[in-house]
Amino acid sequence: MELNVYQIVYIMGNAFQEYMVYRFFHIFYPEQKAKKRCLEILIYLFCFAAAMLLHVSGTGDAAILGCNLVCLAAVSSLYRENFKKNPGAILVILLVLWMAEPAVLTLLKYLDKHRNMGSTGLAVFGIYASKIAVYTVVLFISSVQKRQKGVKVSIPQWIFMAVLPMGSCYLLSDILYISGDGMLNRVLDMTVLIVFLLNIGIFWLYDFSIQAMDQEYEKQILLKENLYFEKQLENQKQSIAVWKKLKHDLKNHLIVLMGMLEENEERAAKEYLHDLMNDRVDSRKEIQTGNTAIDSIVNYKLLEAKQRHIQFDLEIQIPENLQVSSYAMSVILGNAIDNALEAAEKTEEKRISLVIKYTKGRLLIRVSNPFSGRLDEKGAGRFRTGKADQKNHGLGLKNMEEAAEKLGGVMRVHTERQVFTLTMLLYVSDQNEKKVGD
């Protein structure tokens, strides 16, 4: 049996719809993967096959809607960590998918282009335009999420994403309007299919470019994290070298001190010890908690604070085997301390405070700093940045909040008497506690 253009477009549209459902779930659960990937793929294939069978058998829309509902529920069950969120996700996806085609056809009637299309042309355009419109929405929301995360989506990309689907829909509507109901024309059939495939291909390339930018952003975070680790290693090597040198000369220094004490020159001995400590021992503060990520980041920022003549007060109480994401710590501590240093540098006090404490699965991080001028609160505990680069600074705060949410935590900020305080509560684990529990 030879398929006509409507049947081909219907098959392609439904296959494309399953992919859109997949992308919708990744919008609702951006940081969570399905627990069983193979099962997820099988469910999508089953949904597609079931929709085709119901369509061929002439079953009504109610049966197809019920089938889609069951399939969406099956896919959502693979995201059990957010089970309470699943009904809302299913409802939104169903509404968008099922309202898209009627909305497109209503718009077409409003533009008065439906009269000469014929029933087949109208059906083909409804499928095509609704799928393209929905996927444009998916790409738009996905791009907004990436931008909030820190991935820069340029203005030309936004324009391209909007103009291409609208232009192709307008072109196809004109072609179908001019051709009338001449759907047996093979050239017209091929034109419709080529336009559909071109849109899918270009959308895929756009999506691929956004994913590439996302990976590049994460790569930059990892490079920054590596810089912290390299600096920490350099500090450790310098400390070891200092202590080796001190150990080598220790006997001679003790002989000199012993002579001073025998001559009751206590003041001279104290001055000698003071000079010895300043000359031989690295005067930089260094923390050694046993957590490489935290040690590396904080020690790097301690050195930076010293170079900028800012007092850095520390209070850190964490276990050596604290299980926490290095990536999350790089985003949270790196951005929080950078913001605090920049704000404190503009004040007379020039002081920041960092508190990191762990208690029974909860990690508290608090960064405080004085600031000059005033901060404009945007609501819900959010403040408008005073930096010149407000766009990127805002992304830093957003990235910290998202990193906290990934660990099941929360972030809060508040100001009091010209002091800005950022507080995070994260849920992490200590390996020693696990062993005791076992």
Residue 232 domain-assigned?
no
Q: Degrees (nearest 5) of the Cα angle 182, 186, 188?
A: 60
Residue 174 domain-assigned?
yes
Final residue in a domain of this structure, among 223, 238, 268: 223
Direct distance between the N- and C-terminal alpha carbons of the chain, in angstroms, rounded to an integer: 65
Whether residue 329 contacts residue 222, with contact meaning beta carbons closer than 8 Å, is answered with no
Residue 44 domain-assigned?
yes
For 325, other C-beta atoms within 10 Å of its C-beta total 15
Final residue in a domain of this structure, among 223, 245, 260: 223
H/E stretch holding 414? strand 410-416
Q: Are residues 74 and 156 in the same domain?
A: yes
Percent of the chain beyond pLDDT 90?
9
Residue 410 domain-assigned?
yes
**pLDDT for the residue numbered 423:** 93
Query: Is it the case that residue 400 has pLDDT exceeding 60?
Result: yes
Q: Are residues 203 and 303 in the same domain?
A: no
Question: pLDDT of 318-327, one tens digit each?
Answer: 987 788 888 7
Nearest-10 Cα torsion for 143, 146, 151, 156: 10
- Average pLDDT score over residue span 375-402: 55
Q: Are residues 56 and 196 in the same domain?
A: yes
Q: Are residues 323 and 212 in the same domain?
A: no
Beta strands in 279-399 (DSSP E): 311-317, 322-323, 351-359, 362-370, 376-379, 382-384
Residue 325 domain-assigned?
yes
- Average pLDDT score over residue span 116-134: 75
Residue 375 domain-assigned?
yes
Question: pLDDT of 330-351, one tens digit each?
Answer: 888 888 999 999 989 989 889 9
Structure tokens at 170: 């307008």
**pLDDT for the residue numbered 427:** 85
Q: Are residues 184 and 298 in the same domain?
A: no
* CATH code, 383: 3.30.565.10
Q: What domain range includes position 110?
A: 5-223
Residue 313 or residue 162, greater confidence:
313
Q: Are residues 301 and 218 in the same domain?
A: no
Contacts of residue 21, Cβ cutoff 8 Å, sequence gap at least 6: 44, 47, 72, 75, 93, 97
- Average pLDDT score over residue span 283-298: 75
Q: Are residues 293 and 215 in the same domain?
A: no
Structure tokens at 134: 């929905």
Residue 355 domain-assigned?
yes
168 Ramachandran zone, left/alpha/beta (phi>0; psi -120 to 50)? alpha
The rounded distance, in Å, linking the Cα atoms of 23 and 271 is 70
Residue 149 or residue 169, greater confidence:
169
Whether residue 312 contacts residue 285, with contact meaning beta carbons closer than 8 Å, is answered with yes
**pLDDT for the residue numbered 63:** 80
**pLDDT for the residue numbered 364:** 93
Question: pLDDT of 49-101, one tens digit each?
Answer: 888 888 777 776 778 778 878 888 888 777 755 555 567 777 777 777 777 76
Q: Are residues 85 and 167 in the same domain?
A: yes
Q: Are residues 218 and 293 in the same domain?
A: no
Q: Are residues 119 and 193 in the same domain?
A: yes
For 34, other C-beta atoms within 10 Å of its C-beta total 20
Structure tokens at 388: 């010149």
Residue 95 domain-assigned?
yes
For 129, other C-beta atoms within 10 Å of its C-beta total 24
Q: Are residues 61 and 191 in the same domain?
A: yes
Q: Are residues 431 and 312 in the same domain?
A: yes
Final residue in a domain of this structure, among 223, 252, 272: 223
Number of domains in the chain: 2
Task: Record the pTM.
Answer: 0.50
